[in-house]
Structure 1
């Protein structure tokens, strides 16, 4: 079966146009349902969050919604143990949690913090570093967070008795790997690009169909020409051919 010229490009154009429309529609709906928070870019200061973030490394900051703090979040907070306006730390426990540590106890072969009676897995710490330089046992009050840096042996934090948990209201912003607002912009650009490519392919396919010669149907074959000799020797209708004796 013979395919029409430009058929493949036409199919590809339809697929890309539909895909681009889906991407643009999805991003638009997502932004309407949950508008992405505004973000700012900054630089990490100091080495207290190494190896997760090092001094001078670029970071993205988003505002923290009320009740939006979770265990494991990296935040910028005004803390009593820092002379800086804000310092980067990690949320280890939230209001209502009990967090404790005893350097002399081993759990499953590794030193770990104990959160609400369960060993706390902290993959962001370097394997050779202990989770704390001091022992502690703290019940975090409601509305407070327990903050510690990732570089535990060379930083201060809530684990020290003279510091303690920090009011959640002191948290200025949350550090995110990549802001949703920026992802939404890239998603829209990707959708527009896919639609443009689909439109170009559709135009090319249409031009190809217009330029292609029309095919002759199989049931309309051209009759074969009769030999000239046969036509010369054949008698015209109604006449008798002369016979030489």
Structure 2
């Protein structure tokens, strides 16, 4: 079965148009319902967060809504133990949690912090067999967070008694891998490009259909098939038979006319 010219490109164009419309419409609606937070770009200073973030590495910062801090979040905070204005740390525990560590004891064969009685898994640590250089047992007050850097052997944090938990309002911003606002812009751009590509492909498919020859024109241009010799002989024989029959018909008519006077003569003799 032969396909019409441009059929494949037409189908691809429709797919691109639908996909682009879904992406563009979905991102636009999502932004309208839940506008993404504005972000800023910065750079990490120092080695306290290695290996997660190294010195001079670009970072993205988003504002933190009140009460939206979660365990494991990487934040930029104004902490009393840093000489800098702000320092990057990780939220290890939140208000109401109990966080503790004993260097002399192991949990499941490894040194781990214990959060609310459960060993805390911290795969982001470079030397994660030693999650702290000091022992501590702290109940985090409400409205506070327990902060520690990822480079535990070469950093300061809430684990030291002279530091302790930090008030949540001291959190300046949250460090994100990639800001939602930037992802939304890329999503809208991708949807628009898909729609544009689908429109171009659809125009190409329509042009290919117009240029393709129509079935009637193809039939008119097709040469007539030559008559086979046997068929031509049969036609000639039929014509010969018709000619012979036509030549015999006049003779029969003349014979009937010649006999007619004799018949009338016989009738005349009887009457006389």
Whether the TM-score (by the shorter chain) exceeds 0.5 is yes
Query: Larger RCO: Structure 1 or Structure 2 (Cα < 8 Å, ≥ 6 residues apart)?
Result: 1
Contact 2:111 2:129 in 1 (8 A): no
Distance 1:133-1:127 versus aligned 2 partners, 3 A rule: closer
Return the alpha-carbon distance in structure 2 between the equivalents of residues 227 and 130 of structure 1.
99
Question: May I ask how many residue pairs the two structures share in their alignment?
Answer: 242
**Residue 84 of structure 1: CA displacement?**
0.7
**Residue 200 of structure 1: CA displacement?**
0.9
Return the alpha-carbon distance in structure 1 between the equivalents of residues 128 and 68 of structure 2.
32
Match of 1:82 in 2: 82
Return the alpha-carbon distance in structure 2 between the equivalents of residues 123 and 135 of structure 1.
20
**Residue 129 of structure 1: CA displacement?**
4.7
Return the alpha-carbon distance in structure 1 between the equivalents of residues 201 and 140 of structure 2.
61
Contact 2:122 2:128 in 1 (8 A): no
Return the alpha-carbon distance in structure 1 between the equivalents of residues 243 and 190 of structure 2.
80
Match of 2:15 in 1: 15
**Residue 166 of structure 1: CA displacement?**
0.2
Q: Deviations over 1:132-169 (max 9, x none)?
A: 01000000000000000000111110000000000000
Match of 2:34 in 1: 34
**Residue 218 of structure 1: CA displacement?**
11
TM-score, length-scaled by structure 1: 0.90
Superposition RMSD on alpha carbons, in Å? 2.8
Return the alpha-carbon distance in structure 2 between the equivalents of residues 9 and 80 of structure 1.
64
Return the alpha-carbon distance in structure 1 between the equivalents of residues 217 and 201 of structure 2.
29
Distance 1:95-1:128 versus aligned 2 partners, 3 A rule: closer
Q: 1:217-228 counterparts in 2 under 5 A?
A: 224=225
Return the alpha-carbon distance in structure 1 between the equivalents of residues 228 and 71 of structure 2.
96
Contact 2:100 2:135 in 1 (8 A): yes
**Residue 52 of structure 1: CA displacement?**
0.6
**Residue 66 of structure 1: CA displacement?**
1.1
TM-score, length-scaled by structure 2: 0.82
Match of 2:265 in 1: none
Q: Deviations over 1:74-125 (max 9, x none)?
A: 0000000001110000000000000000000100110000000000000000
Return the alpha-carbon distance in structure 2 between the equivalents of residues 132 and 28 of structure 1.
46
Choose between structure 1 and 2: higher helix proportion: 2
Q: Secondary structure at the match of 2:93?
A: strand
The answer to whether residue 95 in structure 2 is matched with residue 95 in structure 1 is: yes
Contact 1:129 1:152 in 2 (8 A): no
Match of 2:211 in 1: 211
Contact 1:91 1:146 in 2 (8 A): yes
Structure 2: tracts of 5 or more residues without a match? 249-272
Structure 1: tracts of 5 or more residues without a match? none
Contact 1:99 1:113 in 2 (8 A): yes
Distance 1:227-1:114 versus aligned 2 partners, 3 A rule: closer
The answer to whether residue 212 in structure 2 is matched with residue 199 in structure 1 is: no
Contact 1:43 1:59 in 2 (8 A): yes
Contact 1:131 1:152 in 2 (8 A): yes
Match of 2:174 in 1: 174
Match of 1:5 in 2: 5
Q: Decide which structure has the larger Cα Rg and report it.
A: 2
Q: Secondary structure at the match of 1:12?
A: helix
Match of 1:189 in 2: 189
